[in-house]
Structure 1
Amino acid sequence: MEGKDIGRGSGYKSKELENLSEGQTLMIGGKEIEIMGTISVEDFNSGRCFHSGVVVLSPTASTPSHLIMKPFSNPLKSSCQLQQEENVKDISLCKPRHDPYTPNALVMPRPSPKHQWLFNKAGLPLVDVVVDPYLMTHLRPHQKAGVIFLYECIMGMRSNSRFGAILADEMGLGKTLQCIALIWTLLRQGPYGGKPVIKRTLIVTPGSLVKNWNKEFQKWLGTERIKVFPVGQDRKVEEFLTSPLYSVLVISYEMLLRSLDQIQSIEFNLIICDEGHRLKNSSIKTSCALLSLPCERRIILTGTPVQNDLQEFYAIIEFVNPGILGSSCTYRKIYEEPIIKSQQPSATKEEKHLGEERASELARLTGLFILRRTQEIINCYLPPKTECIVFCRPAALQLQLYCKLLTSHAVRSCLLGAVESSPHLVCIGALKKLCNHPLLLFNTIKEKNRNPSEELQESNLYEGLADIFPEDYDPQTINENESGKLLVLTELLAAIHEQSPAERVVLISSYTQTLNLLQEICKRYGYGYARLDGQTPVAQRQQVVDGFNSRYTSDFIFLLSSKAGGVGLNLVGASHLVLYDIDWNPANDIQAMARVWRDGQKRTVHIYRLLTTGTIEEKIYQRQISKQSLSGAVVDLKKKSEHLRFSKEELRDLFILHESSSCITHDLLECPCDQAGTSKAPPVTSMLSPRRSCQLGQNHEKSSSQKHLSMSELMQWKHFSGTLMHFPDPNLQRAKENVTFIFQ
């Protein structure tokens, strides 16, 4: 049952094995085996034969009605006691809290007979559970469906004796509001006799969002209906312990570990973990702490569910519904290994078929308690959005330094030596810094010169680079002409500021040094700015955001670190967003770009992603949209860079500079358009001829069913050459000399 090999045997003829029947015996690996029965091919391929404990509760499941309507009554009890119990069950006391028959009322599903048999031992009358109309009027259709889904999971209606759920909606779909509606409903109502299902709820969240949760409760329910206790520097868990007023405790992951003893002394009936992909490793302290709490009802919220690492996927499932997929060993043997093996280029037909069957069964099982909706659902509620991928011509100094880096001993060792022992991540990091601005590379070189104790290979990377910089190079003075992206950015900001002074811009980078550089640019041009990065105290973050969103702010630019921003950041005060550098993980970039295009935004949104033409930034972008084997190694949100793995072929492709192309991404698409945004792109199937295995071209082995949506979307975008007289975006017109290509 655990999928372990307890013995292996050989020497039997296939005919002998085919003719085996129940009760017969044979020897395998020194053990006598008795045949108990036959497993069907379908059950084996799907893996269902290994799961005896996962039962779906069907509303049509039949249980004799008299067993439910007439529960066991103790014959030894006096008639007086029985009369008292009957009074408690008086139906007049068990009316729904809100009228289920009013138009548009959101009524939760009634429990099935089997559910009643399991969970209504006292035989209490059934009562409709109705979401408070005060909240219901604010819920959109997909949010109503989400509340019903969470209710069914938490009540154990979707799988037998399981009370967990994963709400994996993308950013902006209102996961917080759905949870607030669920909590408020369960705190006041229940299907059996109207008794509330929960008394106390624990919400664990990143530190930057503790106050945000408190504000959301106040926004949707006010301060009179429910008392929420956010743990902070000035409010300790002890106060929650001693006060009967509060029913919801909001605490950060870090504070949870510090206050675990007090938390364990409180009986919580529901636990909600925001940004639950933090729990992707079941052995870390946070996971162990939460698992130590005796609460079966658990919800994980994550806009970026872990889908590319099956062990991490198992960890978050194990947290919400322990044991539903069996032991870790069973899961690895039945699902992980066959699925991974089926995705290898060398996989046989049988291995591919088995992997597909097991993946399908895994999706079926997890679909009982995982709900995932994309942002397309709410697009109709949001204002229009224009997104531009802007390819910027590298400056002369950037090209010289780039070529020098590619011929360095360190890069050559990456291409010739063993990948594991090569400093390829250092080389990639140096190239990415150079794409942002040569000044960042110059500062690194100076730092290495001050600390010559660095590894020899790393010092080889910077050898001779200082000679390429002008002799009078001043690191205190930022020159826009030395960076193609910075030139485009300064022209873009000037155009936005001139055309509409009331508009505001969110400027995002992954690096603190780059944010420092951009901050100096703001000072030079007199732009008012706000900044939020890893150094911003958690207590001040929401204050910074609220100040920028205020209509009275004097700030034109919001400088944001994509890594320190946290989730739930709502920057609708701006309608323009510029992503200055690109991340290996597309989820990080998507999350960053969603800051301005979300609920509350009233104006048309313009998003610009800046890439340096022909450089490593284009290669990273290609991997984002191709979703091939490399992206599987880097797609996980929080993976450290040390876990990146590249083949020699992939590294060789990374370390190539394409000086002659205006956009190698467009070249690889083999698109026959006129590059003026007018001609219609041909069907995507013709675009998929293989070029290089690690680029946009697909491998021959891949079937047509595996064509990626992101690639077809890119073909449907408008394609513009940088040589056009008039650009599609008037804000980019001023920067046209430094723009080589645009996808819009």
Structure 2
Amino acid sequence: MSLSSFKEILKPCSHPQSQSLSQSQSQSQTSETLNPRKPPKSSLSQQLLRLEDDYDYNSFPSTLLPTKQFKQISQRSPRPDVVIEGEFEDDDDKFKQDARRSFQVFDPTGPYEPLLLSKSGHIPLVQVPASINCRLLEHQREGVKFLYNLYKKNCGGILGDDMGLGKTIQAIAFLSAVYEKDGDTTSPSKGKEEKKGPTLIICPSSVIQNWESEFSKWSTFNVVIYHGTNRDMIFEKIESHGVEILITSFDTFRINEKNLLQLINWEIVIVDEAHRLKNEKSKLYEACLGIKTRKRYGLTGTIMQNKIMELFNLFDWVVPGGLGSREHFRDYYEDPLKHGQRSSAPERFVEIAQERKQHLVSVLHKYLLRRTKEETIGHLMMGKEDNVVFCAMSEVQKRVYRRMLQIPDIECLINKDVPCSCGSPLKQVECCKRTVPNGVIWPYLHKDNPDGCDSCPYCLVLPCLTKLQQISNHLELIKPNSKDEPDKQKKDLVFASKVFGSDIDVVGGYTQNESFLGLSDVEHCGKMRALENLMSSWILHDDKILLFSYSVRMLDILEKFLIRKGYSFSRLDGSTPTGMRQSLVDDFNSSPSKQVFLISTRAGGLGLNLVSANRVVIFDPNWNPAHDLQAQDRSFRFGQKRHVVVFRLLAAGSLEELVYSRQLYKQQLSNIAVSGKLEKRYFEGVQDCKEFQGELFGISNLFRDLSDKLFTSEIIQSYDKQGTKQEHGHGHEHEHEQERESEGISDEKHILSDFGMCFLPPQARGAFSVASENSKSCNEESNKRTAPVNQELGIVYAHRNEDIISHEHGYDVRQEVGTTQSFPTKKHVGEKGNVSLRRERKLKQFRLLASFMGMQVVEFSKWFLSASFAEREQALRNYKRRKEKMPQT
């Protein structure tokens, strides 16, 4: 059957006589008569061609035709042209009419179903244009409906999808429906959109062109860019109703002359990367408060980054007054949630936090739609695992780190609350030790003001933290840089001579090493030593790697390292021209020879979709967890065909452990406040509370010497020793202990020897389901807290981030199960407790399999990283085959 005949069949019949039209008459009609509409931007003609080639009556749903007639059709030729032209000749006209109408029935879950936004019977009908609707994924359709429902209520909201789920496309589809666009420039919108005011879009300057490009691809709006020169002409267009969409940057909107943009009555305002509005004291936030419209929408994948009050600031702009006053929000929500998450919080505090969390989530979800990749397109991807690897610092790094903690500047900060030695009743920070004239860093900061500044000595905190992070990453970072100003080089030289001490000859002198071999040497850098061993196994198996660092100087060192190893790589940082970025990305994704992409964590913007990489390394952590998560999403997004494995490298016993612990704390608070998840209570510290600084907050914690312990590991183990007491109450502790005894599981904790288990993907961990044996494991190395598990690999401790952060939905596990399950609460608590038991059994099985392969646990973990899927499956089959034969022998 030809395409013209198929289109003719799709046309509705207006007269019964038309049913008897001959084939010659239908073919003589022109294409304009058959299809007067312009095809949408998607290739609908190709879809029709595929239908013409692949259509099969046998695959046609039987519910669309009467049973008798469907059986008759299914027994005949599957070719549509034979069925229509030959087989229907002997049947009555009614049967012909039913069969032809059946071609108009499509799968209601497919792209042919109109996306209606208005209610049934509403005039005019509001729907997303077919040219956009046919290309939307299901979660994107739900997002468009969410935005329109808020629009009809004359209020704002937040679309909080993960990065890579198409928030921009959802916003354009929503606007196209509101402005009654049909995707055809030749078809006017009947003048109805002229009654609506223009839409304002505020976004980072780096994505302005992306917004303009997406509008040109998906719709027919009149879009103008308010950025740069010739701004006066744009206001003339707005007054003459010649502008429908105005796009501007955050900086341009913040400093726009005479607040002209705030004088316009906007129909809709959309802020991309809306988390930029988290600070109520910023000028950008104050400027956005003056926008004249109630239809304010924010797009962001990181609704909360550091503090719960960021939620209030964002939602108070979107829905003014929706969360009450600032004082009410702090007293009713923020303080109870933070104190209820404290590890030793009284039971009453925990109960109040659960109630307030439930209430906050119910309010937020009226104006918030939050989806993750796992919830939406997880079935289209192979998954991601986020590994946190604690690398042993080199001996030289440890000595330099300890000397840094002993400089007068840091000692002044640590002892700030100690009574002053002069006999005054005041503290040191209030008396003689407010300034540090004999310091290493302080004199340079106050070279123009010997008496100090108003914030002394707290002005030293950030510079000292920066130096500690540089030592943790690479010792070359603290040496003078020849590209800096002479004064800074002099200051860095004084600092280097103080902290290097007797090790100055070991590290190659005070000046920065210009030797190619010296910079690329991994001997004095613990992280690079671990990275070298990990990358060697990945490269052998054709893995492609993203290597992130926050520091440009660290990127220079890593570049020398990659050149020395002979790896083919690309590099992108802030100095890379914008016009070259996309070509670098495309070349890396398409070229099999490109093995590594060296990229700055701060290199944001659209287009950095590096889906060809399946290994992601974050060399240095950021205080803001959103930065590291966004770096991971450069690879883990729609289009990724392989399993993504992330490695965050941390220097064990350094400030970076505290950085990561604060990341955990912030992520947990975000999960609690935004999603209402049930999080484990690891930490005693409470953010912004001097009374409960615990192990996380306060200057004394920032400058602690952690080199003699595994800070993160000990916190996690301390929580594990308490079992499920925090989540389920003290009444079930004895029951949990009985279950452990009945299973024959010892209280022995895996610390170092079992770290390799964290490298197994989820499906592989579940594959170790062979029967456990009551054999005592060997953990001789577990007592060597600061010694690396493997001298070659240089890793002290490791775990999966997803295993540490809970992802439990709900407010109270026992209450929820009681209403949804038929079995009693007691059984459920036992099942919750068995989670740790199952994990311990899997760890035992992992050790047994390693022994079967003739390897130590760490050695086997390293082999598993480099082995192919077939090799892993073969090893498991051999092990099971041997276990089956053991009873017979």
Range class of TM-score, shorter chain: 0.5 to 0.7
CA offsets 1:74-128 (integer angstroms, 9 cap, x no match): xxxxxxxxxxxxxxxxxxxxxxxxx99993425445469xxxxxxxxxxx96343
Shift of 1:353: 5.3
AA in 2 matched with 1:429: T
Matching residue within 470, 479, 495 for 1:433 = 470
Contact 2:115 2:141 in 1 (8 A): no
Shift of 1:590: 1.4
Shift of 1:359: 4.1
Q: Which residue of 2 aligns with 1:672?
A: 749
Q: Which residue of 2 aligns with 1:165?
A: 157
Moved more, 208-217 or 405-414: 405-414
The 1:236–1:486 alpha-carbon spacing in structure 2 relative to 1, beyond 3 Å, is: farther
Matching residue within 640, 643, 656 for 2:706 = 656
AA in 2 matched with 1:435: S
Contact 1:576 1:605 in 2 (8 A): yes
Shift of 1:705: 6.8
Contact 2:614 2:644 in 1 (8 A): yes
CA offsets 1:638-673 (integer angstroms, 9 cap, x no match): xxxxxx982477447x42203799976786667735
AA in 1 matched with 2:573: D
Matching residue within 297, 316, 319 for 1:318 = 316
Shift of 1:272: 0.6
Contact 1:496 1:731 in 2 (8 A): yes
In the alignment, is residue 229 of structure 1 matched against residue 264 of structure 2? no
Shift of 1:303: 0.9
Contact 1:277 1:302 in 2 (8 A): yes
Q: Which residue of 2 aligns with 1:209?
A: 207
| d(CA) in 1 for partners of 2:685, 2:626 | 11
| d(CA) in 2 for partners of 1:562, 1:432 | 15
Contact 1:395 1:481 in 2 (8 A): yes
Q: Which residue of 2 aligns with 1:285?
A: 283
Matching residue within 246, 249, 272 for 1:249 = 246
Contact 2:117 2:127 in 1 (8 A): no
| d(CA) in 1 for partners of 2:836, 2:368 | 27
Matches within 5 A, 1:703-718: none
- Look up the SS of the partner of 1:481 in the other structure: coil
Q: Which residue of 2 aligns with 1:103?
A: 108
| d(CA) in 2 for partners of 1:164, 1:661 | 44
| d(CA) in 2 for partners of 1:414, 1:284 | 29
- Look up the SS of the partner of 1:559 in the other structure: strand
AA in 1 matched with 2:609: N
Matching residue within 482, 488, 491 for 2:530 = 488
In the alignment, is residue 727 of structure 1 matched against residue 834 of structure 2? no
Shift of 1:188: 0.6
| d(CA) in 1 for partners of 2:503, 2:481 | 15
Report % sequence identity: 27
Matching residue within 546, 553, 558 for 1:513 = 553
AA in 1 matched with 2:303: P
Shift of 1:430: 2.6
In the alignment, is residue 368 of structure 1 matched against residue 372 of structure 2? no
The 1:201–1:280 alpha-carbon spacing in structure 2 relative to 1, beyond 3 Å, is: same
Q: Which residue of 2 aligns with 1:385?
A: 384
The 1:216–1:467 alpha-carbon spacing in structure 2 relative to 1, beyond 3 Å, is: farther
Matching residue within 483, 502, 505 for 1:470 = 505
Contact 1:549 1:572 in 2 (8 A): no
Matching residue within 579, 603, 608 for 2:618 = 579
AA in 2 matched with 1:646: F
| d(CA) in 2 for partners of 1:587, 1:712 | 29
The 1:599–1:280 alpha-carbon spacing in structure 2 relative to 1, beyond 3 Å, is: same
Q: Which residue of 1 aligns with 2:307?
A: 309
Contact 1:165 1:370 in 2 (8 A): yes
The 1:536–1:665 alpha-carbon spacing in structure 2 relative to 1, beyond 3 Å, is: farther
The 1:418–1:233 alpha-carbon spacing in structure 2 relative to 1, beyond 3 Å, is: same
| d(CA) in 2 for partners of 1:729, 1:267 | 61
- Look up the SS of the partner of 1:606 in the other structure: strand
- Look up the SS of the partner of 1:293 in the other structure: coil
Pick the structure with greater CA Rg. Answer: 2
Contact 1:208 1:541 in 2 (8 A): no
Contact 2:280 2:313 in 1 (8 A): yes
In the alignment, is residue 135 of structure 1 matched against residue 132 of structure 2? yes
- Look up the SS of the partner of 2:479 in the other structure: helix
- Look up the SS of the partner of 1:145 in the other structure: helix
Q: Which residue of 2 aligns with 1:594?
A: 633
The 1:214–1:387 alpha-carbon spacing in structure 2 relative to 1, beyond 3 Å, is: same
In the alignment, is residue 183 of structure 1 matched against residue 175 of structure 2? yes
Q: Which residue of 2 aligns with 1:28?
A: none
AA in 2 matched with 1:364: S
CA offsets 1:506-531 (integer angstroms, 9 cap, x no match): 21112222122223334444545443
| d(CA) in 1 for partners of 2:168, 2:223 | 14
| d(CA) in 2 for partners of 1:381, 1:279 | 33
| d(CA) in 2 for partners of 1:661, 1:332 | 31
In the alignment, is residue 561 of structure 1 matched against residue 595 of structure 2? no
Contact 2:298 2:318 in 1 (8 A): yes
RMSD (Å), alpha carbons: 4.9
| d(CA) in 1 for partners of 2:321, 2:310 | 15
CA offsets 1:536-555 (integer angstroms, 9 cap, x no match): 45x43753554445525975
AA in 1 matched with 2:277: L
| d(CA) in 2 for partners of 1:180, 1:130 | 13
Shift of 1:361: 3.0
Aligned pairs, how many? 583
Contact 1:532 1:565 in 2 (8 A): no
- Look up the SS of the partner of 2:554 in the other structure: helix
- Look up the SS of the partner of 1:602 in the other structure: coil
Shift of 1:332: 4.4
| d(CA) in 2 for partners of 1:646, 1:516 | 33
CA offsets 1:601-655 (integer angstroms, 9 cap, x no match): 2333332222233433334334434655688749xxxxxxxxx982477447x42
Matches within 5 A, 1:8-27: none
Matches within 5 A, 1:576-655: 576-625=615-664, 627=668, 633=687, 646-647=697-698, 650-651=701-702, 654-655=704-705
Shift of 1:298: 0.8
Contact 2:685 2:696 in 1 (8 A): no
- Look up the SS of the partner of 2:650 in the other structure: strand
| d(CA) in 2 for partners of 1:336, 1:258 | 33
AA in 2 matched with 1:208: S
Q: Which residue of 1 aligns with 2:726?
A: none
| d(CA) in 1 for partners of 2:336, 2:495 | 43
Q: Which residue of 1 aligns with 2:150?
A: 153
Contact 1:147 1:179 in 2 (8 A): yes
- Look up the SS of the partner of 2:598 in the other structure: strand
| d(CA) in 1 for partners of 2:198, 2:321 | 25
Contact 1:414 1:651 in 2 (8 A): no
The 1:542–1:301 alpha-carbon spacing in structure 2 relative to 1, beyond 3 Å, is: farther
| d(CA) in 2 for partners of 1:630, 1:585 | 20
Contact 2:159 2:298 in 1 (8 A): yes
| d(CA) in 1 for partners of 2:488, 2:684 | 34
Moved more, 230-239 or 583-592: 230-239
| d(CA) in 2 for partners of 1:229, 1:549 | 33
Q: Which residue of 2 aligns with 1:54?
A: none
Shift of 1:582: 1.4
Shift of 1:497: 4.1
